[in-house]
């Protein structure tokens, strides 16, 4: 009888504690759900961070490629024509990023205002180098949805000293030119159906090159 009475007592106690079991189960599920959401958010952040790092690396090499392509474009046979475009009032680029707020009024000297922009498509057409559109190919490991592009800007036109391996009595002139390459990786257009968490990437690289031989106002 004592055993029966004790069993009935334990059963009565369990009936009064049924709500506690449900509470423990609900709390356990809530904690597990919170852990799952935290893991999902952490994974999403890691994917976004790695994607941004990849895009920054691509932008860096795109700008470096622009400097090399811009320097290669300024060969001895082409330097004269590009310098003439930089100095001609009709063809001088008035939207020079390296010389903001510099106009014919603030700076009458055309040599100081000399500026010219060359698109990647022009470099690809003239020299056969890859354009920004080529880097959008998956073969170049392009970030999903981004559109690479670069522009080369020529400024800082000055007379240069005769480079090594040239005789000093040849009476020829060389020019110093600053090559600025602006590499960009643009996010896809809204409404295109492609979703991305990355923004616009931009990097600028500069180099000082010697071009020539040339003639003209720069040699005076």
pLDDT 10s digits, 80-139? 888 888 887 776 667 787 777 777 666 667 778 888 888 888 877 776 776 666 666 554
In a domain, 40, yes or no: no
Find the domain containing 67 and state its range.
51-219
Domain assignment of residue 182, yes or no: yes
Q: Is residue 6 part of a domain?
A: no
| Mean pLDDT for the chain overall | 76
| In a domain? residue 45 | no
Residue 84, burial from CB neighbour count under 10 angstroms (0-12, 13-18, 19+): middle
Residue 179 lies in a domain: yes
Say yes or no to pLDDT of 49 above 70. yes
Residue 61 covered by a domain: yes
Q: Which among 1, 46, 67 is positioned nearest to 206, based on CA atoms?
A: 67
Q: Is the dihedral of CA 78, 81, 87, 93 positive or negative?
A: negative
Q: Count the domains in the chain.
A: 1
Q: For residue 99, is it within any domain?
A: yes
């Amino acid at each position: 009888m004592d055993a029966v009475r004790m069993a009935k007592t334990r059963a009565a106690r369990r009936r009064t504690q049924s709500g506690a079991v449900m509470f423990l189960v609900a709390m356990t599920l809530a904690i597990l759900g919170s852990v799952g959401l935290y893991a999902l958010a952490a994974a999403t952040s890691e994917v976004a961070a790695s994607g941004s790092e990849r895009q920054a690396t691509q932008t860096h090499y795109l700008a470096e490629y622009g400097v090399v392509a811009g320097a290669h474009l300024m060969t001895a046979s082409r330097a004269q024509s590009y310098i003439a475009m930089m100095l001609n009032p009709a063809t001088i680029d008035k939207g020079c990023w390296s010389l903001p707020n510099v106009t014919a009024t603030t700076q009458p000297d055309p040599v100081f205002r000399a500026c010219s922009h060359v698109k990647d498509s022009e470099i690809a057409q003239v020299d056969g180098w890859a354009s920004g559109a080529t880097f959008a190919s998956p073969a170049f490991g392009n970030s999903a949805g981004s559109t690479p592009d670069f522009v080369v800007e020529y400024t800082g036109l000055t007379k240069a000293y005769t480079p090594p391996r040239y005789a000093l009595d040849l009476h020829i002139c060389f020019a110093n030119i600053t090559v600025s390459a602006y590499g960009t990786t643009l996010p896809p257009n809204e409404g295109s159906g492609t979703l991305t968490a990355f923004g616009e990437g931009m990097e600028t690289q500069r180099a000082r090159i010697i071009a020539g031989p040339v003639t003209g106002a720069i040699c005076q």
